[in-house]
Amino acid sequence: MSRILVVEDNVDLAFGLQTALEIEGYDVRVAHDGHAGLERARDTEPDLVVLDLMLPGLDGYSVLREMRRTNLDMPVLILTARGEESDKVLGLDWGADDYVTKPFGTQELLARVRALLRRAQTVPGDTEGQEATERIGDIEVDPATHSVFKHGEPVSLTPKEFDLLLALIRRRGAVATRSELQREVWEYEADVLTRTVDMHVAELRRKLEDDPAKPRHILTVRKVGYRLEP
C-alpha cells in the first residue's frame, strides 16, 4: 500500500483529498501547515507528497526546497490556486514533479497521483544505462548518469525535465505530440487537459537555450507538439 502525505491548510479540502485517496486504497496522512508537513515527510518518508504552495508558517516552496536539500526525493505534486505561471515554474524549478491548479477534478488528481507513483516505482533496466552520450549543439546529455552539461558546465534538471529531454532526444528530430509526452513522461492514462508539458518545456528552454525566447533546439510545432533540432 502506497503512503501519501497531504499538506493542505484548508481543512475541508484536506479531508476531501484524504477521503478520495483512501477510497483508492492509499495510506494517507495529513498535515495542515508547512512545518508539520516537513516534519511528517522526514519522519514517515511517504511514497508521494501532495503539497499546497500557500501554507501558513512555512510555505510550500520552502517545504519543497528543504525536502530536496535533505535528499527527500519522493515525487511531489503541488497544488496552487494561483493563475500566475511563475508560481508553477518556481515549484517545478525547486523539484516538484507535477502540479494541479485549483479548482481541480478529483479524477484528474487521482490520475496524476497514479502516474507519479508508477513512475517512482519503475526500476530502470540495463537498456537505459547503455545509451550513449548525446550532443545537441553545446549541450551534452548522459542518460546513464542523468547528467546534463551546457558549455561544459553542469545543468541541474528535475527528474521530469530530464525525462522530457530524453523523450525528445530519442525521437531523433521527429515531432512528439503533447499527448504522447504526457503518456510517456508522466504516464497519464488518457488525454488530460493540462499545461504540464508546456511548463516543463519552458523550463528546459530557460536552462538550456542561449535565448529561451528564440529557441534553437527545443522547437514548437504549432498545434501539434515539440521536436528537438540538434
Tell me which of 3.30.1330.30, 3.40.50.720, 1.10.40.50, 1.10.10.10 is the CATH number of domain 126-228: 1.10.10.10
3-state secondary structure of 39: helix
Kindly state the percentage of the chain with pLDDT values over 90.
49
Write out the H or E segment, with its range, that includes residue 12: helix 11-23
Q: pLDDT digit string (tens) for 160-194?
A: 889 999 999 988 889 999 888 988 888 766 555 56
Q: What is the side-by-side strand order in the sheet with 225-228? A: 176-177, 225-228, 218-221
Say how far apart CA 80 and CA 52 lie, in whole Å: 6
**Does position 125 have pLDDT exceeding 50, yes or no?**
no
Say how far apart CA 22 and CA 58 lie, in whole Å: 26
Question: How many CB atoms lie under 10 A from the CB of residue 53?
Answer: 23
For the ranges 118-122, 178-182, 213-217, the lowest mean pLDDT is seen at 118-122
The confidence score (pLDDT) of residue 191 equals 57
The confidence score (pLDDT) of residue 122 equals 58
Kindly list the domain boundaries of the chain, sorted by start residue: 3-121, 126-228
> Contact, 139 vs 169, CB < 8 A?
no
**Does position 130 have pLDDT exceeding 60, yes or no?**
no
The confidence score (pLDDT) of residue 84 equals 61
The confidence score (pLDDT) of residue 92 equals 78
In 3D, which of 76, 48, 51 has the Cα closest to residue 160? 76
pLDDT band for position 145 (cuts 50, 70, 90): confident
pLDDT band for position 123 (cuts 50, 70, 90): very low
Domain 3-121 belongs in CATH node 3.40.50.10860: no
Q: Greatest CA separation found in the chain?
A: 51
